[in-house]
Amino acid sequence: MKTIIALGSNMGDRRKYLEDAITEIGKRIGEVTARSQIMETKAYGYTEQDDFLNMAIAVETEMEAHDLLHELNAIEAELGRVRTIHWGPRTIDLDIIYYGDRLIDDEELHVPHIDLHNRDFVLVPVAEIAGEIFDVRRGKTVAELLAALQDHNMEEVKQ
């Protein structure tokens, strides 16, 4: 199953946390088939924290979606992630953005990611590696979602 995972880090050696996470994903989850460039962004939600390094990767996996989520959470914990403040600082953040063309909504998992259309730090790297993916939640490709977000941001600047 082609899976898109977003990665972010804003504590310590941010680049090393991203690389260590990719290494573990390759060992434990599946083949990493594409990776975006790394971009630096301001924090989202809780903004009183350091800037993030963000990127996205494509992974071919045989894991079921919930097993994938649990494995990503285990990798986060092993890399020192502690969940204390919602949207707070973290050594590593690993989010399932797309799991093939599946729509999953339950207490534990929302795929496609529920808020990705508002997050340029997710859409820009995902569009770089998989702009053609069709978002079944929103009925548009990733490239179209990114263009809509950029248009919206330009409208806000004009006002």
The domain covering 2-158 belongs, at the CATH homologous superfamily level, to: 7,8-Dihydro-6-hydroxymethylpterin-pyrophosphokinase HPPK (3.30.70.560)
**C-alpha–C-alpha distance, residues 71 and 127, integer Å:** 25
Per DSSP, the three-state class of 145 is helix
**C-alpha–C-alpha distance, residues 140 and 133, integer Å:** 8
The more confident residue out of 104 and 151 is 104
- Give the residue numbers marked as catalytic: 81, 90, 93, 95
Q: Average of pLDDT values for 94-116?
A: 95
Which pLDDT belongs to residue 115? 87
Which pLDDT belongs to residue 117? 87
Taken in order 115, 120, 121, 126, the sign of the CA dihedral is positive
For 126-153, what is each residue's pLDDT tens digit? 999 999 999 999 999 999 999 998 887 6
**C-alpha–C-alpha distance, residues 22 and 72, integer Å:** 11
Q: Average of pLDDT values for 69-84?
A: 85
CA nearest neighbour of 79 among 4, 14, 3, 5 = 14
Strand partners, 134: 141
Does 125 have pLDDT greater than 80?
Answer: yes
The more confident residue out of 68 and 12 is 68
Q: Cα–Cα distances in Å, from 123 out to 18, 26, 80, 98?
A: 18, 22, 26, 12
Q: Confidence class of residue 157 from pLDDT cuts 50, 70 and 90?
A: very low
User: The pTM is what?
Assistant: 0.89
